[in-house]
């Protein structure tokens, strides 16, 4: 976040600095990414129960951002999908049931999926995603019976 704040300050005071047009263009693209994508993801990251919803939203936002700046979006997607999708794993998606901002209907779908949809006995820590699937993906699509620890808690939502 410190780099993002610094970049925004440099952009605001660019007229007072001797910055080439090329650097200004790149700085503008970085600041646009920070403002439209990164800030919301940064401030929503503190709540673990909303992490699956926020991470899926971030993925969808990045896929959409490809229309604005494909190189930046693909780089961010590559980094995010390589190491930072553990909240979207079968084992962690159950946190969404406790997300107060998630509609009850979606919570029920997650619970039904964790009680009925067959999952892997030992799911991988990172969910393997195809970026082409992201726009149509929803949290219930990621839930499965791998959430056995939540069966008792989930039963009250069905």
Long-range contacts of 96-100 (CB under 8 A, 24+ apart): 96/49, 96/50, 96/52, 96/53, 96/139, 96/143, 97/150, 97/153, 97/154, 97/157, 98/49, 99/47, 99/49, 99/50, 99/52, 99/53, 100/49
53 belongs to a structural domain: yes
15 belongs to a structural domain: no
118 belongs to a structural domain: yes
Domain extent, residue 114, equals 45-155
22 belongs to a structural domain: no
20 belongs to a structural domain: no
10-residue averages of pLDDT along the chain (158 residues) = 85 86 89 88 82 88 90 85 71 81 90 78 60 81 68 51
Counting the structural domains of the chain, the total is 1
128-150 pLDDT, tens digit per residue, is 666 777 788 888 888 877 665 45
16 belongs to a structural domain: no
**pTM metric for this prediction:** 0.75
């Amino acid at each position: 976040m410190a780099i993002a704040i610094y970049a925004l300050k440099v952009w605001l005071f660019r007229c007072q600095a001797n910055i080439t047009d090329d650097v200004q263009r790149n700085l503008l693209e970085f600041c646009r990414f920070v403002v439209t994508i990164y800030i919301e993801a940064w401030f929503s990251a503190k709540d673990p129960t909303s992490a699956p919803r926020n991470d899926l939203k971030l993925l969808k936002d990045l896929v959409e951002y490809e229309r604005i700046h494909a190189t930046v979006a693909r780089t961010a997607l590559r980094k995010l999908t390589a190491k930072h999708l553990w909240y979207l794993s079968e084992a962690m998606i159950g946190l969404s049931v406790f997300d107060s901002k998630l509609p009850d209907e979606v919570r029920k779908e997650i619970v039904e999926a964790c009680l009925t949809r067959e999952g892997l006995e030992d799911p991988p820590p990172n969910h393997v995603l195809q970026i082409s699937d992201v726009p149509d993906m929803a949290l219930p699509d990621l839930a499965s019976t791998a959430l056995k620890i939540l069966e008792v808690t989930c039963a009250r939502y069905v």
